[in-house]
Each structure stands twice: as C-alpha cells, then as structure tokens.
Amino acid sequence: MAEYFTLLVGAVLINNFVLTKFLGLCIFFGISKNLSASVGMGMAVTSVMTMSSILAWIVYFFVLAPFHLEFLTTIVFVVLTASFVQLLELVIKKQAPALYNMWGIYLLLIATNCIVLAVPILNVENEYSLLKSIVFAIGSGVGFALALILMASLREKLQYADVPKPLEGIGIAFILAGMLSLAFLGFSGMM
Amino acid sequence: MGELWQIFKKGILEENPIFILALSLCPALAVTTTVINALTMGLTVTFVITSNNVVVSLIRNFVNPKVRVPVYITSIATIVTVAQLVLQAYFPILYKAMGIYLALVVVFAIILARAEVFASKHGVVKSFCDGFGMGCGFTAAMLVIGVIREITGGGTILGIPLFGEDFSPMLMMILPPGAFILIGYLVAGTKQWLKKIEEARIKREAEA
C-alpha cells in the first residue's frame, strides 16, 4: 500500500510532469490563459492518459514482449494513443453530447501530445504492473491538472499587471512557470 | 535558387521553431543541460524533420486528405525509430542521456506542423529545404540554450572547465526553473530583436 502511495505522491508533486519533466508544455501554455478551460483539460488528460496506459500496457506485455517486438514500441504506442483518442471522441459525441460540448475540443488537442505518449512509455520502461501503471497514470494526470490550474489562476491575475512590452505573452508565462517550478522543487526533499 | 535559400533561411530566424513559433518546447528545456546533449537532440530533430518532409512530399498525391494525419504520424514514428536504433547502436551514452525525450520526438508539434503546412503542398526539393532550415533553426536555438546553461550552471563548455577551481556555478540554471526562466528571457529578446530589424526596414523603405 505504502508503495502505491509513494508512487502517487511522487508523480503528482515530486516528479511533476509539467514543471520538472517539461512534458505537455504546448497544452500548458496554450490552455492556461483560461481557468475553466484548464479544469476541463486537466480532467480530459487524466482520464485519457489512464485509459490509454491500460491499453498500452496490455498491448506491450501480451503482444510486443512475447514476440520480441520491443523496438516497435514507439510506432505502436503513438498510433495506439492517437487512434484511441479519436475513437473516444466518436463515442462521446454519440453517447454523451453534453459531455462532448464540454470537453470535446480538448480531445483533439491531446491526440498527439507528449504527455499522453510519455506515460505509457515510462510504464513499460520501468516494468510497472498493471495496477502500478494505473496509479502512475492517475498521479501524472492529477499533477498535470494541478500545474495547469495553478498556472491559469496566476495568469488571470497577470492580466492586471504591468508587464514590460517584450515579455508580454509567452515570455512572462515562461518566467511564471519557472517560479512555479522553483516552488515544486521544494517537494524533492520529501522522500 | 534564390527562392530555395529564402525557404531555408526563414526557419532559422523569422520562423524559428523555438523562439518565434514556440513549438516543441519540451526538448528545448529538458535536454539542454549540456551542449553535447543539446546538439545531439538538434541533429536528431533535423534528421527526422528533413526526412519526413521529403517522404510526405513524395506521397502527398497518393494520400487521401481524410487520413493524412495518421499517415504522417506513422511516417514520423518510423523515422524516429530509425534514429533511436542508430543512436542506441553507435552512441549508447548519448542515447541514455536523451532518455524518454528521444521517443517523444514523434509528437513534436513542429514536425507534424511542417508536414501539414509545407510538405503536403510543395515539391520534394522545396520541402527538403524547408525541413532542413527548420531543423537548423531548431539546432541553433538548442545550442544557444545549451551553451548558456552549461556555462552558467556548470562552469564548463563541452565538459572543459572554464573558470578555475574557485568558481561556484549557479546550480539553478541546470535545474528545471532555470530553463523556464532563461527561455522566457530569450523569447522576449528574440521578439525585441526582430522588431528592431522590422523597424529599420520600414525606415529604410520610407527613406527610399
């Protein structure tokens, strides 16, 4: 039990995917202008990542590993996650139109994103069990959502600040992310 | 010839993938702790983006527009796998240093963006120039970041100490926060510089 807890806390805070591993930065800087969009995106990424991790784990340990096709991991996983997201989009559009209106547009953005691809790859590289993979995926997703929401709140405040002209837009966003990352660095001594 | 040079040149400054387009930032932050890592990543991306542009441009008339994105992604993934295997075989230390970011070259927005925006609409030679230009711009940006971070954060360049024994490096620069803050200032600097060039051009035209 303690093992899973360590893994979860590690993925959320200590090895936060956005702020210490620089994954998912495109979404991070693109979406964090708006707080409500950030909440939606965080939820969408967490759920997609968890489901695609399970799928990728099954494919890797039941197809790729027995046939010694490990060198195909990159190709298989990218096609798998991209097509899975497209499929999910179709299903949600048909079955739950209300949900689709809420976060359908985010799904398209996640289809080929480094964070969604990175988690399944890390899972098989570290040879996690299925349960561990799920915990790790959820932790990573929550960490991503946490960073995104914190950043969005900061950027909303930033609209009232007097930012030097050249730094406006992406420049100040980076510096802000640097400060956040500095704060998250404080968690690294926790374990 | 002049046109090809223009296509090549725009990737280096005007449309620099990192500083201007702000695409594919993960590697720019993650593997630029030393110059050699930055260079390896830059060259890998140059190889992938150039080959992929050529492939996409060759097949652009046979691919149904509806399925073009999956086709491009599969092509990119194949080329990245080739790069991965070559690095693993000949440069195992660098392969280790790249870690997961090498596999993630597949989803770099810049590669898919060039395939979609440029290579799917232009001939092979032009697409090659575009990919190569973008790759060089990317490599140049990676090198700038890598050099600054290695000098300030480690006090070395390509592993050679620069400042003697008493120098204590600014550790933050090789940690994640340093990367974010440095890129923030570099993006702002590039923006300002391009604005200056633009203003000078307008002034020159007004005088002429």
B11-53 per-position pLDDT tens digit: 777 777 777 766 667 777 888 888 888 899 999 999 999 999 9
Per the domain annotation, does A70 fall within a domain? yes
Per the domain annotation, does A2 fall within a domain? no
Residues of chain B found within 8 Å of residue A21, distances taken between Cβ atoms: 30
Per the domain annotation, does A54 fall within a domain? yes
CA distances from A183 to A33, A71, A176, A180, B174 (A): 20, 38, 11, 5, 16
| Chain B interface test: which of A76, A77, A175 (most B C-beta within 10 Å) | A175
User: Which is more confident, B1 or A180?
Assistant: A180
Contact between residue A29 and residue B18 where contact means Cβ atoms under 8 Å apart:
no
Q: pTM for this structure?
A: 0.85
**Which of A19, A113, A170 shows the shortest C-beta gap to B187?**
A170
What is the C-alpha to C-alpha distance for residues B88 and A40, in angstroms, rounded to an integer? 39
Element (H, E) at A41: helix A35-59
Inter-chain residue contact A118 with B106, CB threshold 8 Å: no
Contact between residue A39 and residue A156 where contact means Cβ atoms under 8 Å apart:
no
Per the domain annotation, does A62 fall within a domain? yes
Per the domain annotation, does A4 fall within a domain? no
Residues of chain B found within 8 Å of residue A74, distances taken between Cβ atoms: 77, 80-81, 84, 103, 106
Inter-chain residue contact A75 with B192, CB threshold 8 Å: no
Give residue B33's pLDDT: 83
Residues of chain A found within 8 Å of residue B175, distances taken between Cβ atoms: 185
Alpha helices in chain B (DSSP H): 2-12, 25-30, 35-59, 68-90, 92-98, 100-103, 109-114, 124-154, 176-207
- A169 min Cα distance to partner chain B (Å): 9
B193 in contact with A, Cβ within 8 Å: no
Token digits of residue A116: 């969604």
Per the domain annotation, does A5 fall within a domain? no
Give residue B46's pLDDT: 92
- A112 min Cα distance to partner chain B (Å): 6
Q: Where residue B122 falls among pLDDT bands split at 50, 70, 90?
A: confident
Inter-chain residue contact B179 with A22, CB threshold 8 Å: yes
- B185 min Cα distance to partner chain A (Å): 6
Highest mean predicted confidence (pLDDT) among A51-65, B64-78, B156-170: A51-65
Per the domain annotation, does A115 fall within a domain? yes
Task: Report ipTM for this prediction.
Answer: 0.83
Per-residue model confidence as pLDDT tens digits over B127-145: 998 889 989 988 988 898 8
**Least confident window among A101-115, A124-138, B44-58:** A101-115
Contact between residue A40 and residue A106 where contact means Cβ atoms under 8 Å apart:
yes
Give residue A112's pLDDT: 67
Q: Where are the domains of chain B?
A: 2-207
Per the domain annotation, does A6 fall within a domain? no
Question: What's the domain count of chain A?
Answer: 1
User: Cα-flanking dihedrals φ and ψ of residue B160, to 5°?
Assistant: -95, 125
Token digits of residue B31: 């593997």
- For residue A35, pLDDT over 70 is answered with yes
What is the C-alpha to C-alpha distance for residues A16 and A186, in angstroms, rounded to an integer? 12
- A121 min Cα distance to partner chain B (Å): 8
Which chain A residue has the Cα nearest residue B105? Answer: A114
A171 in contact with B, Cβ within 8 Å: yes
Inter-chain residue contact B103 with A166, CB threshold 8 Å: no
Domain that includes residue A163, residue range: 17-186
